[in-house]
Amino acid sequence: MQQTEPLTKSVIQRLEQAVQDYSAILVAYSGGVDSSVLLHGLVLLRNTKRPDLKLRAIYIHHGLSQQADNWARHCEQTCQQSGVECLIRYVNLEPSGNIESQAREARYESIEQVLLPQEVLCTAQHLDDQCETFLLALKRGSGPTGLSSMPVVTSFGQTQLLRPLLSFSRQQIEQYAQENALSWVEDESNQDDKYDRNFLRLRVLPVLQQRWPQFTQMVSRSAQLCAEQQQLLDELLSEHLSTLTGEQGCLLIEPLLNDSEAKRNALLRLWFKFHNVPMPSRQQLTIIWQEVALAREDATPQFILDNHQIRRYQQCLYLLPAMRPIENIRISWDLKTPINLPDNLGVLTAILEQHMGQLRQPTEQETVSIRFQAQGKFAIVGRTGSRSLKKIWQEYQIAPWLRQRTPLIYYNDTLICAVGVFVTLEGQGTELSISYQ
């Protein structure tokens, strides 16, 4: 490989600038022309200027094409010739639903699982991809955030994602590949215009570029201006948002009541961005405000947003992960070994601490179980009289979504304690403690 052609020099210079602060890179490698140019350029950079650069590549096998096995072999062979470790990962997609979206999510999830500490991800999106992304956001009616399209550098998991080829057009990418006699695979699905991105690429952009040859560059400029506008708005609102944010990142509702709809929506969007979750649409924001934030006082409303839920409690909005129902689960426990709770709730550990614990030990006739709901009234340590579990949760200010996710310890059918919250009179003692992590 010789760095002789002007375009090759330009690409290598751009790559050198983009990765100057990094020494370990994982390349998202599909075998197509775009990622082939990216991998080739990084290998050339490593071999000529950055011998310290550690390169790995990953191919995601979606199983959508009969050629996928051949593509995987091509990627392995190319990487072997270049002295780059190649990872092959297989993902399963549902035949129904948005295949493009599923494939993208599965791809990035697989990539995040294999990233090493201090390693950054490099992807091969280019100027035409940026234009397509902008037009797709325009079709969805997106605001400045969506129209900002793809940044050159963005957060990804615990590291960063780099798109160093965003300033190069598809034509330049193909020219680089020809200059360096690269071989690549052709995905036949790229010619199927039933997919929105392919429709734009095959049917729309050629017409626009024929009329206005600089169209993609101008769209990229608009995307950059939208990004700058959104950054400025975020900077102006960030300090105000910090005054509205309570414990666990919740959002205070009352101060928002006197704000204009535009300002309130901007603050809500910034709150979602702070929590790094997908941005809701304008209609979804309206529903969240009207049906969750402003629901009647005794209601426990919620709104599902992808893999998250928005809940209200004590005049605050909470953004929480999706939770599967576990209230009917019962788990036997011998107290001798730590036990994992369902739905990633944590681990319970029982410790015998004579005269230091809060519970009594079970008798030989009592079996121990973990449950997540209880019926009846209970007398608890530190309170007089008996009351329902709902009343106890309210007194201890336990949020509604935690009330059937807090582990309850039973001896036979007698409630002994709610771990970390209360102990019943039937369970009080000084022999046993249970930690919850």
Q: How confident is the model at residue 215 (pLDDT cuts 50, 70, 90)?
A: very high
Q: What is the dihedral angle through the alpha carbons of 372, 376, 381, 383, rounded to the nearest 10 degrees?
A: 130
Strand pairing class (331-333; 368-371): antiparallel
The more confidently predicted of residues 307 and 76 is 76
- Check pLDDT > 50 for residue 1: no
Percentage above 70 pLDDT, the chain: 98
Cβ contacts of residue 427 below 8 Å, gap of 6+? 359, 360, 409, 411, 414, 415, 416, 417
Domains 6-220 and 248-321 in one fold: no
pLDDT tens digits for range 406-436: 999 999 999 999 998 999 999 888 888 888 8
Reference 303, options 275, 277, 284; nearest CA is 284
Instruction: For domain 6-220, give the fold.
Output: Rossmann fold (3.40.50)
Residue 34, marked binder: yes
Share the mean pLDDT of the chain: 90
| Residue 100 confidence (pLDDT) above 80 | no
Whether pLDDT at 224 is above 80:
yes
Q: Is residue 30 marked as binding?
A: yes
Is 33 within any annotated ligand binding site?
Answer: yes
pLDDT-derived band of residue 97, with 50, 70 and 90 as boundaries?
Answer: low
Say if residues 127 and 217 touch (Cβ distance below 8 Å): yes
Measure the CA–CA gap between 148 and 224, rounded to whole angstroms: 6
Is 193 known as a binding-site position?
no
The pTM assigned to this predicted structure is 0.73
CATH T-level topology, domain 248-321: Chorismate Mutase Domain, subunit A (1.20.59)
- Residue 355: pLDDT band (50, 70, 90) is low
Domain boundaries, the chain: 6-220, 248-321, 331-436
Q: Is the pLDDT of residue 2 over 50?
A: no
| pLDDT tens-place string over residues 303-336 | 998 889 999 999 999 999 888 889 899 999 988 8
- Do 185 and 32 touch, CB atoms closer than 8 A? yes
Contact present, 170 and 126 (Cβ < 8 Å): yes
The response to whether 63 counts as a known ligand-binding position is no
Residue type, 50: R
Q: Which long-range contacts (CB under 8 A, 24 or more apart) does 145-150 make?
A: 145/226, 145/230, 145/269, 145/273, 145/279, 146/279, 147/222, 147/223, 147/226, 148/223, 148/224, 148/226, 148/227, 148/230, 149/220, 149/223, 149/226, 149/227, 150/125, 150/223
Paired strand residues for 245: 251
pLDDT for 93 = 73
